[in-house]
Amino acid sequence: MIAHPPLTTAEKERIYAEKLRGRSLPAIAAALGCSLAAARKCWRFARDHGRQALHEPRGGRGATGVLSGCAAKVKEQALALKRDHPSWGPDRVLCELLSDPSLAGLRLPSRSRLAVLFHTVCPELVAPRRPAPAPPAAPPTAVHECWQLDCQEAIPLAGGHRASISTIRDPVGAAILAS
């Protein structure tokens, strides 16, 4: 048997009406060219929820994607704020969304969801991440781990001469190594 596309509302109505007239589900399925399981499922759904339920959209999986749990108005407002103020980050945009009276009562996204939205929809407005600064080096604890260079320039000498002195010392051992 060739796979039948999903039943249309008219086909669902026909299954329901013909079953009410006393026709068997295998005969109805054969006439429509659908599987017996599809006809049986349609009949049971209409029987349990009423004929009007055949016209209502069914459940299924919820919407997916960035900010799918929020109203479209929230997403549009967040993107408009980001485009108007490119230097604003998700925290500032969320703060503005919270203070917007037209969004009162609507579910607002988290700052991390806003960051994902900005990265996917308008990446040109997102500042590149700066690497974390390197942790400060630990102070030396043993001799010759670190040397200190000290330069003194233009030291006045007798006779109007000037001299520059460079000293290399070990800060842990406090020894002058070269001068």
Residues 76 and 49 in one domain: no
Residues 76 and 115 in one domain: yes
Beta carbons of 52 and 45 less than 8 angstroms apart: no
Confidence at residue 96, expressed as pLDDT on a 0 to 100 scale: 95
DSSP string, 94-115: HHHHHH-GGGTTS----HHHHH
| Mean pLDDT value across residues 154-167 | 89
| Mean pLDDT value across residues 97-105 | 93
| Mean pLDDT value across residues 167-173 | 86
Does any domain span residue 4?
no
Residues 14 and 51 in one domain: yes
- d(C-alpha 15, C-alpha 95), whole Å: 54
φ, ψ of residue 21 to 5 degrees: the values are -80, -5
Q: Does residue 103 come out as left (phi exceeding 0), alpha (psi in the -120 to 50 range) or beta?
A: alpha
Residues 51 and 89 in one domain: no
Q: Does residue 26 come out as left (phi exceeding 0), alpha (psi in the -120 to 50 range) or beta?
A: alpha
Q: Where are the beta strands (DSSP E) in the chain?
A: 148-156, 162-170, 175-178
Question: How would residue 2 be classed by pLDDT, with cut points 50, 70 and 90?
Answer: low
Does any domain span residue 62?
no
Does any domain span residue 64?
no
Residue 1: is its pLDDT beyond 60? no
CB-count burial class (<10 Å; 0-12, 13-18, 19+) for 91? exposed
Confidence at residue 89, expressed as pLDDT on a 0 to 100 scale: 93
Give the range among 25-29, 75-79, 118-122, 145-149 with minimum mean pLDDT. Answer: 145-149
- How many structural domains comprise the chain? 3
| Mean pLDDT value across residues 4-30 | 93
Does any domain span residue 140?
no
Does any domain span residue 120?
yes
Amino acid at 134: A
Stated pTM of the model: 0.46
Residues 121 and 77 in one domain: yes
Does any domain span residue 142?
no
pLDDT (tens digit per residue) in 107-122:
999 999 999 999 999 9
Q: Which domain holds residue 156?
A: 148-178
- d(C-alpha 88, C-alpha 116), whole Å: 14
Residues 121 and 76 in one domain: yes
Does any domain span residue 34?
yes
Confidence at residue 35, expressed as pLDDT on a 0 to 100 scale: 92
Which tokens in the block code for residue 114? 């806003």
Does any domain span residue 31?
yes
Residue 65: is its pLDDT beyond 60? yes
144 or 117, which is more confident? Answer: 117
pLDDT (tens digit per residue) in 82-96:
999 999 999 999 999
